[in-house]
Structure 1
Amino acid sequence: MEAENLKFRGGWGMAFIPLAVFFIFCVLLFLVFLSYDMHALAMGGFIGLLIGGMFVKNYGEYWKSVISGIASPNSITIVVILFVIGMFSQMLKDSNASEGFIWIASRVHLTGGPFVAFVFFSCCLISTATGSSIGTMFAAFPVFFGAGAVLGANPAMLAGAITSGCIFGDNLAPISDTTIASASTQLFRNGEAADIAGVVTSRFKYSLVAGLISIILFAILGGGGEVASDVESMGDPLRLVMLIPVVGLLITAVKSRDLFKAITVGLLLGIVSGLISGIFTFPSLFSSSGELGNSVTGFLPTGVASMMSTVTLVISVFGIMGVLHAAGAIDRLVNAILKSRFVKSDRGTELAITIGSCVTCMIFGGVTSAAILTFGPVVNELGMKKGLHPYRRANLLDGFVNTIPVVIPFLSVFVFITVALSGLDPLSVSKSMLYPLVLFVVLLFSVITGWGRMHEIQVAEIS
């Protein structure tokens, strides 16, 4: 077995050194430097691998395990998907689709709490379409937060609504990196990864319940400011045309259960709709000056380039996971949990997944993708031995990392970015991020009562 080929000086526990170094860099970047650069975070992973190599007995086998982790089918699948979805995500960002939602709000006179609820709903749609929580935050805050100031919104609740809506999409979107990672790390008994469309379809009920409760709360608690007199001049109705590719992508993803087909349909519809409406020109897609040393522009190449930081992070994390697997650390961790009385039942196993997912995400400063990639293999082993369906495992993993860990005031990257974009203090931002808090309650209820729990054998018999 590969797990017996990698030995560390000091025992198998030394295999966690790369992960520990990675965590130190998370703290250093987020808490000390207040930086959210995924390239820098990936650097911490690679430095951790270099340091970890100093304690291994067989240096050649160590780096073979790193490459094996990076070259795993799950890793390559995630990388390819991220590059493809980058083009679609950038297309939506460049189209300024959020301007269409502002126009709607101004025309139907949504102000105060109802406007905050509308912003939450809009950010849910945008982030679900783009699959990018942080990308949606940077796109939505300049538009919605500024508009809220003249539409009578409570600043803290408005900021919380924007970030909550972005987290909603990050958790649910078929093209989200967390959805892709959570599905790809959960395997069926035949070795195939959980299909993304099936995961999203089974996840929808949790997101819908938490989302509806959050909308009501934002509508009740989101008002309190003054409404400006020139609100009618805001927004652009033409941008609503870009809902066409969003709808096309989502329908194709659900019906075909093929993410690449869905992206193709969404991208083609977006390009055609954008060109016909005048939102895009051909240079908007791809252009170059043709001069020596020029830079290529357009949302197609920019979309691919925008994913490089996330891809680099995926590579570093899968390299660390390769070391942990080769040293047998993952197997030992899973076996230790399985031997405890805590996981004798399905509920106990799911509670272990709950705690582990939250703690891992806290360790990584609320970086949900890194937490999923790290703890995902553990969830897969735990759930598979108890017969829990890959959809259920992926939903709990992705769901819980998007709850409590992302609202911790002085640790979560989401809180830090919201503070930077809104100018508010971390505590008020944290208390206003209602959707992650509500989602935690919904998912915990699901774990305790068994609502939505599926077993792979039962599903196979039904089908």
Structure 2
Amino acid sequence: MSSENRKPSLLWAFLTFAIPVAIILYGTVVIGVRPPVLPLLVAVAAAGIMALKIGYSWNELQEGMLSAVGRIQLAVAILMLVGMIISSWMASGTIPAIIYWGLKLIAPEHFLLSTFILCSVASLATGTSFGTMGTIGVALLGVGGAMGFDPAWTVGAIVSGAYFGDKMSPVSDSTNITATVCEVPLFTHIGSMLWTTVPAALIAIVGYIVLGSMHTGDVTSMGNIDTILTSLEASFSLSPIAFLPPVLMIVLAYKRLPVLPVMVICVVSALGIAMLEGATLSTLAKQLTSGYKAATPSPELNKLLSRGGLMSIMVTILLLTSGMAFGGILEKARVLEVLMDAMLRGARSAVSLVGATLGAAYIILLGTGSQILAVVVPGRAFGENYKKAGIAPQVLSRTCEDAGTLGCPLVPWSVHAFYILGVLGVSAVDYVPYAFFNVIIPVISLACAATGIGIIRTDGKSSRSLETATDPKSD
């Protein structure tokens, strides 16, 4: 049977997509299976059975799953290095030093706002949300815990800041890939994103100011902050050299060195500092594998600082593999293709095109959990439609990032959500309500399309004349 004959109907494609997604949501949200490996595996089985009904063989579906899993090799390598960075930065005193000075300098009522701003700056400089969350994000999570903040609040602010930079940084992979796919000059693409990014960032800032003001300041769960500071002073040198690894990370990332060598340098520099402080090579090797085990006078602080290591991210890798296998079946069975084609039918106005682009990106995120696919596929598929409607390609590239880049951590079984769960220990179900920047930006994107604000035309005409310009009767 030809590939065309095995293309599912719209109804069957919808069911093949919706039923497994419902299984994942039921297992994760309703039953509360954490980590949600079992719901994902059941979803993979359900999608596979429905794809077999279309006419695909098991070997073909297996090929699709293996191909999809192969795409996360770099993500797995990054995860492994992040696990080692966390444990080595604990041993070197880097993360304890950031926690120490964070508690010294940041007032509790300003903590969430400071977290959003610090993560935004770090991510803008490095171009990586993963690196930001796995380093300064871990330290800020410790500061928030010491101040008595709900971890979901803190992680929400960390995610918002990290993805602000991931979207806007000229050295970000997602920013450069999106501009290339949509055939838009890099800084034209970044300039176009300001139309939606600035309002969303301002709303997020107000949100974190309000949320911070609601914090009661109860720190009984972590003990007195003065006690924590004393414990840190007694257990770590907290010297300026402890800040060398993050400085190296920012400088080398800004110089566009590949991410893996930069992360290796960050690990090696931290290990060197730890050895200067008296740590032995055998102890550090064990910490890189099994994680850092703190031994301060404070039991609560020990619980906070004992983390990292290669083994800490193994569950995350299992989740990633299961999620990508699910997406591989949907891709191979052409389910996502059929759903995207349906969304494009009749899309000619700014609102319908932007809405279809956002919807397609979220469908791909829900189906595959891949940020890059959610950016690349709509960017390639919708370019001609935007051109026919007289809308500049930077509007398409901006919209792809509004949904694809920023929406990925909002999908509980996406690559990025699993990474956040593995590194920061909070699931998407818990932190999404507080990731204000990521949540609000698609609304801003649709509002721009509806009002014509920021909708750039290729012919220089007002965006409000778009409907008339695309109406065949006007020709």
1:410 alignment counterpart:
none
Distance 1:201 1:250 in 2: 22
1:44 alignment counterpart:
42
**Is contact 2:95-2:136 (8 Å) kept?**
no
1:131 deviates by 0.9
Which of the numbers 394, 398, 409 marks the counterpart of 2:400? 394
Matching of residues 239-250 of structure 1 within 5 Å: 239-250=242-253
**Is contact 2:111-2:144 (8 Å) kept?**
no
SS of the residue 1:222 aligns to:
helix
2:112 alignment counterpart:
116
SS of the residue 1:451 aligns to:
coil
1:349 deviates by 0.8
1:318 alignment counterpart:
328
**Is contact 1:113-1:222 (8 Å) kept?**
yes
Q: Deviations over 1:306-343 (max 9, x none)?
A: 53421332232122211126xxx62x444433332xx2
1:336 alignment counterpart:
342
Q: Deviations over 1:162-182 (max 9, x none)?
A: 3232244256448xxxx9789
Matching of residues 92-171 of structure 1 within 5 Å: 92-94=85-87, 95-96=89-90, 97-108=94-105, 110-122=106-118, 131=130, 139=138, 143-149=142-148, 155=149, 159-170=152-163
1:262 alignment counterpart:
259
Q: Comparing 78-87 with 370-379, which one deviates more in the overlay?
A: 370-379
C-alpha change, 1:346 and 1:240, in structure 2 (3 Å) is same
- Asked whether 1:436 is paired with 2:449, we answer no
Distance 2:340 2:360 in 1: 11
C-alpha change, 1:131 and 1:2, in structure 2 (3 Å) is farther
1:460 alignment counterpart:
none
C-alpha change, 1:204 and 1:162, in structure 2 (3 Å) is farther
2:381 alignment counterpart:
381
Which of the numbers 216, 220, 242 marks the counterpart of 1:225? 216
- Asked whether 1:67 is paired with 2:63, we answer yes
2:24 alignment counterpart:
26
SS of the residue 1:4 aligns to:
coil
Distance 1:105 1:88 in 2: 25
**Is contact 2:378-2:400 (8 Å) kept?**
no
Instruction: Give the structure-1-normalised TM-score.
Output: 0.65
* Structure 1 unaligned regions, length at least 5: 150-154, 289-294, 408-412, 456-463
SS of the residue 1:26 aligns to:
helix
C-alpha change, 1:308 and 1:199, in structure 2 (3 Å) is farther
RMSD, aligned CA: 5.1
2:356 alignment counterpart:
352
Q: Comparing 371-380 with 41-50, which one deviates more in the overlay?
A: 371-380
1:395 deviates by 0.7
The alignment covers a number of residue pairs equal to 401
Larger Rg computed on CA atoms: 2
Instruction: Give the structure-2-normalised TM-score.
Output: 0.64
1:385 deviates by 3.8
Distance 2:267 2:440 in 1: 33
Alignment identity in percent?
A: 13
1:27 deviates by 1.9
**Is contact 1:124-1:169 (8 Å) kept?**
yes
* Structure 2 unaligned regions, length at least 5: 219-223, 292-307, 388-392, 459-475
**Is contact 2:37-2:322 (8 Å) kept?**
yes
**Is contact 2:40-2:326 (8 Å) kept?**
yes
